[in-house]
Copies of this chain bind each other. A is one copy, B any other.
Amino acid sequence: MITSTDNPRIKAYAKLKNARERKRTGLFLIEGHREVARALNAEVAVDTLLVCDELLGPEPIETAGSDVLEIGAAPMRKIAMRENPPGVVAVARQFGTSLSELHVGEDPLLLIVEEVEKPGNLGAMMRTCDAVGADALIVAEPVTDIFNPNVVRASQGALFSVATAVAGTNEVIGWCRKRGITVVGGYPAASTELWDASLTGAVAMLVGAEDAGISAAWDDVATPVRIPMAGAADSLNASVSAALLLYEAKRQRR
């Protein structure tokens, strides 16, 4: 059992909170009982399960054959992002998110999110994709990588159940064009209200960055729709906008 925060393995794991270190190693951290269970259930490759008996609740942990390393509360606090660290954190291998390997069936419903920055928003969008039964989430030009511990946490494990691809905007546009997928984007100044747009068939709903909105690259590609807003034009949170777009598509596809 490791109790020192100066232990080299603990230091190496704690560094995975850093995007550069995740990129260098291909590893990432999954914090929390529920999140780890969902990852194991989805057959994410877990290298090591870090377990702290002192912080662990009464629920048993499934290890699914992973290596288990017992650590003290101090190293767990060093590794975890949460203020109240959980009793279990998994060190897992990043899985493939190549758009060329994303396969969707007929008439898919997709979410494309461009240049998203806030980990909480990206995680919430994953939860929404899971809930609405979207076929995939495509993350274009991410500012925050999808393996950021705060994304994993905010997704509550939906990262492991929703097919997710990451690519540049031009690649995403080409991919949609090739498959005849209609891209419908949320624009505050669009003349068509969301509810009057046709959202059946092969459709990708597109939301832009929290501040800048959808980039100009989509101008000739996306069909603009407007979520009616009584207040300020920027009054909806990006993940709320994504949910409203996806659920209206879902309603029309019943």
Residues of A whose CB lies within 8 Å of any CB of B are 120, 124, 127-128, 130-133, 156, 158, 161, 195, 227-232, 234-237, 239-240, 243-244, 247, 250-251, 254
Contact = CB atoms under 8 A, between A and B. Distances in A.
B236 A131 contact: yes
A237 B195 contact: no
Q: How many copies does the complex hold?
A: 2
Contacts of A124: 237, 240
Contacts of A156: 232, 234-235
A254 B237 CA distance: 22
B131 A229 contact: yes
Contacts of A132: 228-230
Contact of A231 (B131, B227, B234, B243): B131
A230 B130 contact: yes
B243 A158 contact: no
Contacts of A127: 231, 235-237, 240
Contacts of A240: 124, 127-128, 239-240, 243
Contacts of A234: 156
Contacts of A131: 227, 229-232, 235-236
Contacts of A237: 124, 127-128, 239
